[in-house]
Structure 1
Amino acid sequence: MKLSVIGTGYVGTVTAACFAELGHEVICVDTDEKKVDMINSRQAPIIEDGLDEILKRNVGVSLHATNNYEEAVRNTDFSFICVGTPSDIDGNIDLQPLKNACRCLGTNLRNKKKYHCVVVKSTVVPKTTEDVVIPIIEKESGKSAGSEFGVSMNPEFLREGKAVYDFMNPDKIVIGGIDKRSQLCVKELYDKIDTNVSITDLKTAEMIKYVNNSFLATKVSFANEIGNICKLMGINTYEVMEQVGKDFRISPHFLRSGAGFGGSCFPKDVRALIGKSIELGYDPKILQSVIELNEKQPLKVIDILKKKMNKLEGTQITVLGLAFKSGTDDIRESSSIPIINYLLEKGAYVVAYDPLAMNNMRNVFSNIRYTSTIEEALENSDACLLMTDWDEFREIDNELNLMKRKLVIDARYVLNPNDIKADIKYEGLCW
């Protein structure tokens, strides 16, 4: 089948590449000419495991990119909207990118006679497709949704760093549609993927995405709260959660205590669901607590650091890990950001290392020192903060001897406390 993908961020690029890998003809559309040129040069505009290989196999064969909406709509039967829906100052989603995409799609559908299905993959609160997407496209195209063009909502459940694998090996596929034709057309695109496909209406599909992410975020904040309590009693929360996670009703996933969740999805989606709930007159206390605890959690690293050191001014603090999690260069909502901010405010000299995320963090902090190796980052430091669970950090041992003071605060259970040498002052965040 022939489809276009609007937006070449994390979701759009992976969606386009994987659909091409499944044998469909795909056109990527983006107003950013740099991204368009990168894709056409077989280079991924984002860091995702396996994505470069897929682009090399498919660009020029079944996949190409353009900034021309008219070309994309004219030559395809589906258009997937994968633009970002960032949070505004109040935590509600900013729909401007989505509205712009809908206007462009509607304008270019006006003179198209063949049936075309618009598929929303961007994360939007329930009823957005019905109340925003459809009216704009109908107005710009002069056509009626359901009879003259299809509309579907197909949420994504992709982990950054593992998005290609998750697309090709999903736990579930959810397809909401304005009518049965829209639903079944999109379902056919996934015929080569063997998994459960759930068919529902538009607003239910939108809600499934938010509840999915909000529940996972709740598990993280719950695990952190338990970790904080365990810390006060001298209990290793990882031993506790290992056993709790063996209960099939709970599972071990997202029970790792630490410095909190970040990234482009969990914080934004929970805040958006809170905003929608308040708009409806409901006070979502659990969800509000999830965000409140998550925002406070990274600062517990600072609390430990202050207890271990008489002062921060003039000290050298090493931050190992800048990405919000391992396997990505994404620093959005990274727990390292508020910590670095605090250290700089107190007059500390910050040295940082991350295998992928340093270039992105330079756009936030140009006044800290970035190093090319772990050894450089640790040399003469007064303290080391482990903020991301990169595998290479698990191997540090003799490198700690380069420090002036061998103080290590582990925010992600990167090191095994039982393996720490006697001369290392090690402190876990929740254990």
Structure 2
Amino acid sequence: MSRTRPINCIIPPYILDKLLESPDRDVRQAALDTMLTTARLRGERMVRASIAGATATPGDGRRTIFDCDEGVTLSRANLVRTEDGPESADTAVDKAFEGLGLTRDFYRQVFQRDSIDDQGMRLDGYVHFDVQFNNAFWDGQQMIFGDGDGTEFSNLAGSLDVIGHELTHGVTENTAGLEYHNQSGALNESMSDVFGSLVKQWSLKQKAEEADWKIGAEVWTPGIAGDALRSLKEPGHAYDNPQFGKDPQPDRMSRFIHLPDTPRGDSGGVHLNSGIPNKAFYLTAVGIGGFAWEGAGHIWYDALRASSADTGFQDFADTTYQKAGDLFGAGSPEQAAVLAAWAGVEIQISGVPKARTFPVNGNGRVGREDGIAALSRQLGELNAKVAALAKDLATIKTNR
């Protein structure tokens, strides 16, 4: 059964639910207003998506920013910046403009992708949406940014990884079309976290070991340093504070969270269970080393394009293993890193027995053997980076 694509919001419902419990009346009201507006927008998108022939507007990826001036009707927003226009005196306008451009350029330069739909789709952004709106989202045609309530959220246009996250929902919709519920929905969210993080790393020219691997740190709880909405490196440890409690994301399959496939149930826990493939990507990236978009990023991007609407964790893991072999060679360190990473989140690649780890020479480096007669080969000696990954996985097992 076909499911209508929802609007894709950066802030999950369980965060807004926590805000409804705040002792601050203004914070509670902002959360309630955000939830009501989001529900209305979801209904509007269902109507729009049902209209046959509705397509995105081509335009060589050109950016246009509009100011909603705290309104909610996009058609009444004022044009405030164009691709050829000057900078604005409004920080939110310029941050949105810059973030759209960096995300567009990342996909163009790294993956030779022509905007979100690979056909030059123009990028429209709307800032100052609604009053104290605690969210940012991609609605299938444009980016919308709320200003936040000023207490738990600052202006959502201020985070590059949030912008990269949301635009990647558009990429996913125009490639695999991952259905937004249960495991396929969690993969959908994970793809946005992965490539949102990579956009930021690419813009800063950070290697995998240098990145913070956090999502939304700049706009989430501005009064609390060091936390974020999610962490790819440590799902379940992005935040821990009195306002919101402890980050509930799982980091392995034995901790998978089963929730109802409803809006209040986060469509089956899509923002929660995304922590599992997020962790697998992080482990792959640090296992390969260097710039994450060059190795792990290409593997994940090719796997995304090869996936379908109902792809789950197991199928996606198997596809990344295959794509790592296609891109870097069967038995390559990159493919071995993918194998070890998914094992680290308790997903075994289909048809590949659990790898045996053993020293292969006198310097203590580590190799892995896949043992499959049909393949008639071994996964060769891992490089020093994969040896470091093995130590990381051993630490994870010790801390269980």
TM range (shorter): under 0.3
- State the TM-score, normalizing by the size of structure 1: 0.26
- State the TM-score, normalizing by the size of structure 2: 0.28
